[in-house]
Amino acid sequence: MKVYALVGPSGTGKSHKSSLVARDMGITHIIDDGLLIGGNRVVAGTSAKREKTKMASVRHALFYTEEHRRDVARAIKTKKVDSILILGTSDKMVRSIAEKLNLPEIERTIYIQDISDEEEINTALSHRKDKGKHVIPVPTFEIKNDFSGYLLDPLYVFRRKGKNKYVSEGSKTIVRPTFSYLGSYTISNNTLFQIARHVASKVEGFESISRFRVINREEGISIEMSVVVNYNYTIINTMRLIQKNVADTLEKLTALHLASLDITVKSIVINGAEYP
């Protein structure tokens, strides 16, 4: 396995540049803020951005907990990863991550100032300092005050451009972590609803979602769903599968912390007829 590192101070644009570095150097996987990323998706781990404090976020990014280390190390072994780019704020940090995950020594270290000019670094720092924005190099959506006009695809984010026409917005995630919270924000219910409905539709016994509510909390987002299910299937099994699959997919696609997902059976379908 070949191990590389991308080092630079916090907020200088490492995550934004990591995909380009990995592509140019033929690196298949990236370790960034507690996540193992490969093939435009989160392979293992959880994002440090979900922590409530900056200190907790740093500890998470350094794989301080045994369960987190084991989860990512197992995925690296199972996937037979042959090349990894580790992101960190210092040489010491990337070496520590490599050691904790039992990876070979770092073969080459790239510094952010070697691949970004002064203007790019200052712009990245401004976005971090003034807006509290952090980038995660996986395809998802940007947290904004208003999601109107956005369509989420499992791999890319698209921007509406005219009737029935969408233009790719790239494959990055911009999040505002709890520890850099600068005020209230909302997440489009429709965006999350579309994901939940698509995932739930794959579960046997699911008919439809009759109510969907997203609640923004300091510790993450909470979702309340009311669903219609088919009486011909075991209802409790259907509910458990819907809850697990929707929760797993939302966290994987968005890297946001789902604090809770509560599901209620609103009505059931018997022989084609719906009963409350």
In a domain, 146, yes or no: no
Q: Express each pLDDT in 167-217 by its tens digit.
A: 444 444 444 444 343 343 445 677 788 899 999 999 999 999 999 998 877
Mean pLDDT for the stretch of residues 150-168: 42
Question: Domain check: are 37 and 103 in the same one?
Answer: yes
Mean pLDDT for the stretch of residues 99-120: 88
Q: Is 110 left (phi over 0), alpha (psi -120 to 50) or beta?
A: beta
CATH assignment at residue 200: 3.30.70.1350
pTM for the model: 0.52
222 touches 215 (CB < 8 A):
yes
Q: Express each pLDDT in 30-53 by its tens digit.
A: 998 888 888 767 788 877 666 666
Domain count for the chain: 2
Q: Is the pLDDT of residue 234 over 90?
A: yes
9 class by beta-carbon count within 10 Å (0-12 exposed, 13-18 middle, 19+ buried) = middle
Question: Domain check: are 114 and 14 in the same one?
Answer: yes
pLDDT of residue 158: 42
Question: Domain check: are 113 and 222 in the same one?
Answer: no
**182: helix, strand or coil:** coil
Helices (H), the chain: 14-25, 54-61, 66-78, 91-100, 112-115, 118-131, 189-200, 235-254
| β-pair partners for 27 | none
> For the chain, what is the mean pLDDT?
76
The two structure tokens encoding residue 41: 């998706």
Reported as half-sphere exposure (CB side, CA atoms, 13 A), residue 82 has a value of 2
